[in-house]
Amino acid sequence: AQTIHQWPVAEIKAVGSPLSLGCTIKGKSSPNLYWYWQATGGTLQQLFYSITVGQVESVVQLNLSASRPKDDQFILSTEKLLLSHSGFYLCAYNRGEEDTQYFGPGTRLLVL
């Protein structure tokens, strides 16, 4: 069975501070990986996707960057947080030509 884990569960950070969010997938080899951002009460905005280790494509950057250092790991980061970065960050995966994306539990971020 596949499992998707995101860390941390929640963060409260100051404007201008750095951020690193992580996502790992277990039980699925060579998954496609995705990062989403969701404002409170809003829809999902895809930020990045990766279909292979070391390669990341940007959809909407929002002054964030992403990396895929291992097959099962996806990292979202920024050196300087903005107030607008507050929200719910979701990692998702699927495989190959599969349509459905499977989501992790999310990380809630509050920037003050």
Contact residues: other proteins, CB under 8 A: 32, 34, 41-46, 49, 51, 57, 59, 90, 92, 97, 99-106, 108
User: In the structure encoding, which two tokens stand for residue 92, read together?
Assistant: 């998702």
Output the six-digit token pair for 87: 């929200």
Map residue 108 onto helix, strand or coil: strand
Question: Which one, 4 or 75, has the nearer CB to other proteins?
Answer: 4
**Taking the complex as a whole, how short is the minimal distance between the CB of residue 42 and other proteins, in angstroms?**
8
Nearer to other proteins, 14 or 43 (CB): 43
By C-beta, is 51 or 82 nearer to other proteins? 51
Token pair recorded at residue 55: 């390669």
CB of 84 to other proteins, least distance (A): 19
Three-class SS state of 35:
strand
Q: With respect to other proteins, which residue has the nearer C-beta, 9 or 14? A: 9
Q: What is the DSSP letter of 106?
A: -
**Cis before 31 (ω within 30):** no
CB of 80 to other proteins, least distance (A): 27
d(CA 86, CA 94): 26
Least Å distance between CB 22 and other proteins? 15
